[in-house]
Chain A
Amino acid sequence: MNRRSLRSTTKTQMFVWGWILVLPTIVGLMVLNIIPLINTINQSFHKTGDFGRGNIFIGLKNYQKLFSDQAVLQSIINTLKYTIVQVPFSVFIALVLAVMLNRQVKGRGAYRTIFFLPMVVAPAAISMVWRWLYHTEFGLINNLFNLKISWISDPAIAVFSIAIIGIWSDIGYNMILFLAGLQEVPKDYYEAADLDGANVIQTFRHITVPMISPILFFVIVTRMIAAMQVFDTIFMVMEQRSNPAMYKTQSLVYLFYQSSFVERDFGYGSTIVVVLLVLIMCITVIQMIAQKKWVHYN
C-alpha cells in the first residue's frame, strides 16, 4: 500500500466516522427542529381547520391581520420590555457574583450551590412559589413590608415582577458560565495591575471584562434569545382571562399559545411565532456585528 492510498483511506474513514457520530444529532435536529420549523412557516399561510384537518391556503391574510392587530404590537413591546430588564440585570449580577466567588471566600462551594439552586428547580414550582410571594392579600412580600402592591395584577408593574422572577432564576446559570471563564484568566495580569496600583473597579473593567468577553458575549446572546421566548412564568403566575395586567404583560409566545392552543387558530398562532423568529434573528445578527467592537478573542 503506498502512502497516498493510505492517506485516502484515512480520509474516507474519518469522513464516514464523522458522519456516523453526528448522525444522532442531525436526526434529532431534523425531527425536532427543522421539520416543525418548515411546518410552522407553511401553516402561517393557511387557515387551519379543526384538529389540523382541512387546512385552506389563504396566502398572506394571516400576516395582514397580524400587522393590524394591536395585541401583537403590545406583546412585542412587552417582550422587549421584559428582555431589556431581565438580560442586563441577570448578566450583571451574575458577573459580579462570579468575580466575588472566584476568590478565596469561606464557604465558597456553599454559596455557589445556593446561587445555582434556582436552575435545578422546575420552572412550574418556581412560579407557584413566586405567585404566593407576590399575592396582594396574603403574599409574603406585602405582609413583610406592610405594602399593598398588586405585583402581578397591576398593568404598570406586572411585566417587571415577571422579569424579577426571570432574573432570579437565571443568575446561577450565568454565574457558573462566568466562573468557568474566570478560571482561564491568567493571574499575572491581576498581579501586574496590582503593582501599578489599579483598584478593584479598574481591574474589573480593564482586565476581567475584556478577558472573558467571549463568554460574556455567548451568555448575552443565548439569554437574550431565551428572554424573547418567555412564557412559562407568565402562564403559571398570572390567571388567564381575568388578570387586568395580562394585556400589558403577555409575551409573543404567550399570545402564540393563546391563538394556537386555546382558540385553536394554528394558522394565526404560527404567524405570530414566525414574527418572533424574524425578530430574534434580527437582534442576533445585530449582536454578531456589534461583537467586533467589544469582544476580544485572544
Chain B
Amino acid sequence: MKKRILVLLLVALTVSVMLFAGGDAEKAKTADVSKPLSVMIWDSNQEPGIRKLIDDFTAKTGVTAEIQVVDWNNYWTLLSAGAQGGSLPDVFWMHSNESQRYMSNDLLLDVTDRIAKSPIIDPENYPADIWSLYTYNKKYYAVPKDVDTIALWYNRALFDQAGVAYPTDDWTWEDLYAAAKKITKADGSVYGFACPNNNNQAGWYNLIYGNNGYVISEDKKKSGMDLPASIEAMKWMEKMINENLMPPQTVMTESSEDVLLQSGKIAMAMQGSWMLPAFRDNEYTLKNCDIAMLPKNSKTGRRPSIYNGLGWAIAKNSTRTDDAWKLVEYFGSQEGQLKQAQLGITMSAYNNTSDAWKNGVPQFNLQAYLNMQDDMVIRPFSRNTVKWENAVLDVMLRVWNKEISMEAGCKEAAAQMNAILAEE
C-alpha cells in the first residue's frame, strides 16, 4: 500500500515538474520560423486587401503571416493585456490615441537604425506629421501605413426626391443645414444628416477647427472645448440636433451612420476615407451615393480636415524581429503602399500614391478626399488620449440626447478634460 502511495506521489511530482518546466520553456521560446508571423488589425473592411499584400510578401520572401482582426473597442483591451503579459502580436497597427503610452513604456521595437539602413524606407517620402505620431525621444517606433481625410458622403436618390441640388465644393455649413431641412421628412422615415456624439474625428472636431477653435492646446495641457470659437462651432450641431434634422441619438446608437446611409435613411454623413471599402462593396451605396468636400466655414473660410495616419509597429519582445521588420518594410515600401492604394484599402502614406487610390474606384468622386488635404489638422492627442476623449464623449452624449445645452456641455467637457490632463 505504502508503495502505491509513493508511486502516486512520484507521479504527481513528475507531472508538476513537467508542468512548471513547460511554463519555463514557453518563456524562453526561441524563434520558430515555420510558424506564421502574427499580425493584428482592427478594421475588417481592410482585411481582404491586407491579406493580398501579405500573400505578395510571402511569395517574395517565403515568410508567412497570419492576420487577426479584432474590433476597435476590443483591440486596445487585447493589446494592452498582451503588452502586460508579454505576448504581443509580432506586427500590429498603432494609433495616435495610444502610441505615446506604448512608446514611453518601451513596448515597441525601435526601428530607427533599421530605417537608416533600409534602402526601401526613406522618411522623406512620408508626411512628417505622421512620423511625429510614432516618434519618441527622436526614435522611430513605427512605419506610416496610411493617411486619412474626411469628406461628405451624400445619397443622390434622396437629394433628387426632395429636389435639392447636390452638395458642391462651395458649400458652407449653412448650405448643409438648409439642404438637410428640405430633405428631412416629418414622419422620421428620412433624415437630412447624421452625426452621432461619438463621431469626433470624422465629425464635430472638423467643425471646431474650421471655426479656429481647438480641442486640445498645443502643449497638451489645456482643453479648448470651452473656447467661444469652439462653442460657436458646436452650436451648429446643436441646431441639427434640436431641429431633428438628424435621427434621434437612440437610433444613431443602434445603427451607425454608414448603416443608415446604406439603408437610405439619411442623405448626408461625414465619413473618413478609410470607409471606402465598406461603401464600395455595398450595392446600394455604390449605385446611389457620391462624395463632396466638407462644407466651408462661412466666417473663417476654412475647411480643415482632421487627419490621422496609422503606423505599422513591431513588438519589442517579438522573437522574430528580423522577419517582422521585413514585413513592415514591405508594407511601407513604395510598392506595398502603391498596392494598398490601388486595391482601395486606404489612402497610402507614401507621397504621390493618392492618384492610384483615386483611380481604384472610379464610381466615386474620390478627388474630394484628396482636395481635403489642402488644410489638414492632426487628430488631437496627448499621452492618455482615451481617458479624456471618453469623458468628453460621455458629456456630449447628454447634449445629443437633449439633456443639457451645447454650451453647458462644452464647458462641462472642458472642465473634465482639464482635470484629466492635469493628472497626465
The interface on chain A, measured as residues whose beta carbon lies within 8 A of the other chain's beta carbons, has a size of: 33
Most buried by B among A13, A154, A262, A265: A262
A52 to B77, CA, bound (A): 13
* A223 at the binding interface (Cβ < 8 Å): no
**A155 to chain B: closest residue by CB:** B401
The answer on a CB contact under 8 Å between B254 and A261 is no
The answer on a CB contact under 8 Å between A137 and B8 is no
Segment 145-162 of B: residues with Cβ below 8 Å from A: none
* B12 at the binding interface (Cβ < 8 Å): yes
The answer on a CB contact under 8 Å between A16 and B5 is yes
The answer on a CB contact under 8 Å between A153 and B386 is no
Task: In the complex, identify which listed stretch (B124-132, B271-279, B387-395) lies at the interface while the others stay far away.
Answer: B387-395
* B107 at the binding interface (Cβ < 8 Å): yes
- 8 Å CB contact of A242 from B9, B77, B252: B252
Segment 146-187 of A: residues with Cβ below 8 Å from B: 150, 152-154
Do A243 and B251 form a contact, CB below 8 Å, given A51-B83, A53-B105, A263-B390?
Answer: no
Do A241 and B387 form a contact, CB below 8 Å, given A13-B1, A23-B12, A51-B107?
Answer: no
* A191 at the binding interface (Cβ < 8 Å): no
Do A50 and B105 form a contact, CB below 8 Å, given A154-B250, A244-B401?
Answer: yes
Quote the shortest CB–CB distance from B402 to chain A (angstroms): 9
The answer on a CB contact under 8 Å between A264 and B390 is no
- 8 Å CB contact of A137 from B83, B265, B401: B265
B residues in contact with A262, CB < 8 Å = 73, 76-77, 386, 390
Quote the shortest CB–CB distance from B118 to chain A (angstroms): 29
A residues in contact with B9, CB < 8 Å = 20
* B377 at the binding interface (Cβ < 8 Å): no
* A40 at the binding interface (Cβ < 8 Å): no
A residues in contact with B197, CB < 8 Å = 241-242
The answer on a CB contact under 8 Å between B196 and A240 is no
Q: Count contacts between A and B, CB distance < 8 Å.
A: 84
- 8 Å CB contact of B101 from A50, A152, A153: A50
B residues in contact with A20, CB < 8 Å = 8-9, 12
The answer on a CB contact under 8 Å between B397 and A263 is no
The answer on a CB contact under 8 Å between B253 and A153 is yes
Mask: chain B, 45-86; 1 = CB below 8 Å from A; 0 = not:
000000000000000000000000000010011001101100
The answer on a CB contact under 8 Å between A241 and B393 is yes
A261 to B104, CA, bound (A): 19
Mask: chain A, 115-145; 1 = CB below 8 Å from B; 0 = not:
0000000000000000000011110000000
Quote the shortest CB–CB distance from A136 to chain B (angstroms): 6
The answer on a CB contact under 8 Å between A242 and B386 is no
**A261 to chain B: closest residue by CB:** B77
The answer on a CB contact under 8 Å between A244 and B5 is no
* B168 at the binding interface (Cβ < 8 Å): no
* A194 at the binding interface (Cβ < 8 Å): no
Do A261 and B80 form a contact, CB below 8 Å, given A16-B5, A50-B105, A241-B390?
Answer: yes
Quote the shortest CB–CB distance from A225 to chain B (angstroms): 25
Quote the shortest CB–CB distance from B394 to chain A (angstroms): 7
Residues of chain A touching chain B, judged by Cβ–Cβ distance below 8 Å, are: 9, 13, 16-17, 20, 23, 50-53, 135-138, 150, 152-154, 238-247, 261-265
For the complex of A and B, list the 9 residue pairs with the smallest distance between their C-beta atoms, beginning with the closest. Answer: A153-B250, A244-B401, A150-B250, A242-B253, A242-B198, A243-B253, A261-B77, A239-B253, A241-B198
Residues of chain B touching chain A, judged by Cβ–Cβ distance below 8 Å, are: 1, 5, 8-9, 12, 73, 76-77, 80-81, 83-84, 101, 104-105, 107, 196-198, 249-255, 263, 265, 386-387, 390, 393-394, 397-398, 400-401
19 further contact pairs, Cβ within 8 A, besides A244-B397, A244-B398, A261-B81: A9-B1, A16-B5, A20-B8, A23-B12, A50-B104, A51-B84, A51-B107, A136-B251, A137-B255, A150-B251, A150-B254, A239-B253, A241-B198, A242-B198, A244-B250, A246-B397, A247-B394, A262-B73, A262-B386
What are 8 A-B contacts with C-beta separation under 8 Å? A136-B251, A136-B254, A137-B251, A138-B255, A153-B254, A239-B254, A243-B253, A262-B390
